[in-house]
Amino acid sequence: MRFSSLVAATTLGLVVALAPAAPGLAGQAERQANCAAVGGTLSGTGNGNNQTCTVTTVVVAPDVPTGSPTTTFGEDRPAGEPVTVDTSQPVRQPDPEVTTEERDTGEATVVETERVGTPVVTEEERDAGEATSEDVVVAGTPTSTTRTERGTTTTTQQPTTTNCRRVNDDRSAKPVEKCDRAVLTTRTTPTTIVTTTTTPQERVTTTTQPRETLITTTTPVTEVFTTTQPRESCTTTTFQTQIATATTQQTQRTATTTQQTTRTTTTTTATFRFDRNDQPIIPSGTPTATPSTSAGDPVITTAEVPGTPVVTTGTRPGEDESDVACTPAAPVITSADGETREDVETATVPAEPTITVTREEIDPLVVDTEAPGAPIVTTDTRTTGQTCYKNPSTAEQRRNRC
């Protein structure tokens, strides 16, 4: 311990010595601050040669066991569920319960018979075979209508004159007329007279459906089951029982172990002188180490250890035990109806046929007859913008004769 403290102090002094010189003037305040920085106390008066810095370090070593540990035990307490075991066979108790009842014995025997019910007769009329049909077409009163149909129009053009007026003297023997040249357009459309004769018609259908009467005779037949069940009368004597038991309850307790310890504290004092930069670096004498021993903190551990088991005795109810004595009793006879079937007999006799008459309008009979009609003629006169002369008398008029 002493060697370690000295090394620590020397190392600290070397670190301080290697530090760069502090700026400013050296003096009492500077040495005081440098000594305090390394955890020391400044002593002495005057300049640095007469003053020292004393550094004291305290090292506390870990606690070490001393002497023998002591153990104390706590109270027992239950641990886990108790275990109960039987220690005897069931023992019958006095005052049994006695009951008497009747019950079935052996297999029941069943005898099957039939019961015939009252027949039911029904009659139903129904179709017999396919129906036959006969169709007749009946004509009604015819009606006639006429219409005119136009054919393809033909067009013809021929020259003509219009707006003629006399241009010579009225006393002349032959009138001379000046006319406008024109074109006469004639359009002729032939026509046809169509006469339509419509005769209404209807289809009369006569249907004959053969019929017959179905006579059904239904007789219900029911199954009857007669059951005979043997019986017996039984007397039951029931005893309650008790079983002796032993219950074991495991226990546990807490064991506390205490281990005493000692603690060693080493105080090291080192004195340093100051260098020319007022740093506490030069050792002054040999450091002193003073060890001291004191009681440390005790180490206390706990553990759970088994305790003394607790055993108790008692009883519990066992299964009931019964004695049964039986004697024959009167059998039980029951009767039950089963399924009912129907025996069916049928017969048929002819019935009156069903005749139905239906009328249905069908497309009428239409006949068209054609005859030529009067043609439709239209005319149209259009002037050409030119003039001509009728009965021309001069050479110029004759050149433009109509």
Of the candidates 45, 18, 19, 20, the residue with the CA atom closest to the CA atom of residue 31: 45
Q: What is the pTM of this model?
A: 0.34
Q: Is 383 exposed, middle or buried (0-12, 13-18, 19+ CB in 10 A)?
A: middle
Q: Please say whether the beta carbons of 251 and 79 come within 8 A.
A: yes
- 339-387 pLDDT tens trace: 999 999 999 999 999 999 999 999 999 999 999 989 999 999 999 889 9
The two three-digit tokens of residue 312, written as one number:
């108790």
- 153-189 pLDDT tens trace: 999 999 999 999 998 888 888 899 999 999 999 999 9
Residue 286's pLDDT band, with cuts at 50, 70 and 90, is confident
Q: Please say whether the beta carbons of 375 and 149 come within 8 A.
A: no
Q: Provide the pLDDT for residue 193.
A: 93
Q: Provide the pLDDT for residue 7.
A: 34
Q: Please say whether the beta carbons of 331 and 228 come within 8 A.
A: yes
Residue with tokens 């807490």: 254
Q: Mean per-residue pLDDT for 194-207? A: 94
- 304-332 pLDDT tens trace: 999 999 999 999 999 999 999 999 999 99
Of the candidates 229, 138, 203, the residue with the CA atom closest to the CA atom of residue 358: 203
pLDDT greater than 80 at residue 72: yes
Q: Mean per-residue pLDDT for 3-26? A: 38
pLDDT greater than 90 at residue 335: yes
Question: Alpha carbon of 157 to those of 14, 192, 382: distances in Å?
Answer: 148, 25, 10
For the chain, give the mean pLDDT.
87
Residue 9's pLDDT band, with cuts at 50, 70 and 90, is very low
Q: Provide the pLDDT for residue 48.
A: 64
Of the candidates 301, 292, 218, 307, the residue with the CA atom closest to the CA atom of residue 262: 292
- Between residues 147 and 12, which one has the greater pLDDT? 147
Residue with tokens 């074109």: 183
Report the C-alpha gap between 231 and 105 in whole angstroms.
5
pLDDT greater than 70 at residue 215: yes
Q: Provide the pLDDT for residue 330.
A: 93
> Taking CA 4 as the corner, what is the angle to CA 288 and CA 43, rounded to the nearest 5 degrees?
40
Q: Provide the pLDDT for residue 3.
A: 34
- 26-55 pLDDT tens trace: 577 888 888 888 888 888 876 667 788 889
pLDDT greater than 80 at residue 6: no
Instruction: Calculate what percentage of the chain has a pLDDT beyond 70.
Output: 92
Give the rounded distance of the alpha carbon of 359 from its chain centre: 63
Residue 250's pLDDT band, with cuts at 50, 70 and 90, is very high
Instruction: Calculate what percentage of the chain has a pLDDT beyond 90.
Output: 68
Residue 107's pLDDT band, with cuts at 50, 70 and 90, is very high
